[in-house]
A and B are shown apart, each in its own frame.
Chain A
Amino acid sequence: MAQGNEDPVYHYLFKVVLVGDASVGKSNLLSRFTRDEFNIDSRSTIGVEFATRSIEVDNKIIKAQIWDTAGQERYRAITSAYYRGAVGALLVYDISNYATFEKVSKWLAELKDHADQNIVVMLVGNKSDLRHLRAVPTEEAMAFGAKHSLSFIETSALDCTNVEKAFQKTLTEIYRIVSSRALETENSAKKVVAGGQAIVVGPTNTDTENKVDKSRCC
């Protein structure tokens, strides 16, 4: 019940999912962002895994609750359940493996089917440290992103390049949308329930600021 007890206080709780083909580096992006760790020999993710980190935007604390999903097709039925309530997604491919980029449209369609209509999606070309093995030209991915109104970035979970930026940008964009929406409606929080776990995508009332009131979630 007391979500705020041991956690640092936060103003917003955003659910973000990591999707993309197997072995593109989703789990390492997550561990780099949440624990500043890279595991050269991580095992494949089975089902889903979970981690969190809080960042600050405009003096507001945003807590990202990130779900890392298994990449293999067979797990779709299980993992798509985790898209529900997600307000952001990092759609990851491997710049050294063109097949993983070709699958991006499929993943995008899947997100549109199962996640919130207004989900913020960032296209992430990971493993940018593998320059000599590059198979996906930056321009091509950028053009794809532009065509589908996705922001785009290349990252390396191994050497840290742009990992922070990828998450920061996604979370900031969600925050902008949510705070402007909140201004429009001038009213309390819009809340989405994701698999029973309350995901607050709007500011809490001033009197409950700094504490998310789970009981008010629908």
Chain B
Amino acid sequence: MLGELATLNSLSIRFTKFKALLESPTVDLDMLRKLSWNGIPEEIRHLVWKLLMGYLPANSARRDATLARKRSEYEDYVQQTFGKGVETLDQGLYHQIHIDVQRTNPSIPLYQHPRIQQALERVLYCWAIRRPASGYVQGINDLLTPFFQVFLAASVTPNIRDVETMAVDAIPPAVLVEVEADSFWCLGKLLDGIQDNYTAAQPGIQRQITRLQELIHRIDAPLHAHLVAENVQFLQFAFRWMNCLLMREISLRRIIRMWDTYLAEGDLGFSEFHLYVCAAFLVKWSDRLREMEFQEILMFLQSLPTAGWEEKDIELLLAEAFMWQSLFHDSPNHLTQSTTQPPN
């Protein structure tokens, strides 16, 4: 009872702090980042995400105009692209997006509704034709959904859980259009920061995987040695971790909490900090993995037992990642030592 009260109390103090920050004419983004690191209250998450993504200006007087402009710009894109019917689209690209949207978050009812699926298709298609260097890559559909769900929840119900099962037909068209537009711009900003994850041969991911292996070599040598002895290549499991930012490993609602911290980490949240999260994530299973042989390891890593994870599990993971980052990030020597003896 007392514990609950204390929790409620601290939540309300946090909420008040956020409120105070957000109500100032120009939001102090550094402070906002600091505060967001430990999680953002649901009621204001949409606003904080948009500010931290740099989609909304810190100056509150300029916000409405910016939003209106961005939303109308997106509406123009949609009109230009889809106005003449889907037959006029690049059929290869459209087909790939279409089949992937159909199988996005299959366990969440919201994403099974044709209205929602069409909205996601429009965002992904409009984005893909504007980024010819990468284009649409499977998995980007996953990355769109945290934005979409947070922004939609903000407009129709303050709760990211309830929105998953809501009556989609009840969403006013004007609301959906805005959610779609905001998601489009925020997805774009996110992907611009990790673009080389998705260009030819996906060099960003290859580099991340190499670094992950070096990190594991440093922070959990026995695990690293075991994986090497069992001929397990990091590419075999970590590719997906990088390509979908762990969205295939951790439930969408937990990912949304994780992104509070990624956004709070600034420009490198989805690349640099994510790397340390992956390291902390792998090390979490170290005891079990070290008991396993090749086949078991791969099967285990393909479907990790994270279904029961709660917010506190995510927060522990983030704290561990932060610790590894503090230890290694500014100490390149920690890593160069391992490169003289390249792991595997």
Contact = CB atoms under 8 A, between A and B. Distances in A.
A77 B298 contact: no
Contacts of A78: 201-202, 205, 235, 239
Given A42-B106, A46-B240, A195-B236, 10 more contacts: A22-B100, A44-B100, A46-B244, A71-B138, A74-B137, A75-B138, A78-B235, A78-B239, A196-B231, A197-B294
A81 B137 CA distance: 19
Interface of B: 95-96, 99-100, 103-104, 106-107, 135, 137-139, 141, 198, 200-202, 205, 229-231, 233, 235-236, 239-240, 243-244, 248, 293-296, 298-299, 302, 344
Interface string A18-51: 0000110000000000000000011110111111
Given A3-B293, A3-B294, A43 B103 contact: yes
Interface in A1-16: 1-3, 5-7
Interface of A: 1-3, 5-7, 22-23, 41-44, 46-52, 65, 70-72, 74-75, 77-78, 81, 99, 195-198
Nearest 6 A/B pairs, CB to CB: A41-B106, A47-B239, A196-B231, A77-B201, A23-B99, A46-B240
Nearest to A197: B231
Contacts of A51: 299
B202 A77 contact: yes
B231 A198 contact: yes
B239 A46 contact: yes
Contacts of B200: 74, 77
A74 B100 contact: no
Contacts, number: 86
A148 to B, nearest CB: 24
Contacts of B202: 74-75, 77-78
20 contacts: A1-B229, A1-B230, A7-B295, A22-B96, A41-B103, A43-B106, A44-B99, A44-B100, A44-B141, A47-B235, A47-B240, A47-B243, A48-B239, A50-B236, A72-B96, A74-B200, A77-B201, A78-B202, A196-B231, A197-B231
B177 to A, nearest CB: 27
A44 B105 CA distance: 10
B138 A50 contact: no
Contacts of A1: 229-230, 293
Given A43-B106, A44-B103, A77-B201, A22 B233 contact: no
Nearest to A1: B229
Contacts of B99: 22-23, 44
B104 A43 contact: yes
Given A6-B296, A46-B239, A50-B298, A74 B103 contact: no
B239 A50 contact: no
A70 B99 CA distance: 13
A61 to B, nearest CB: 15
Nearest to A217: B231
A52 to B, nearest CB: 6
Nearest to A4: B293
Nearest to B298: A50
Contacts of A71: 138
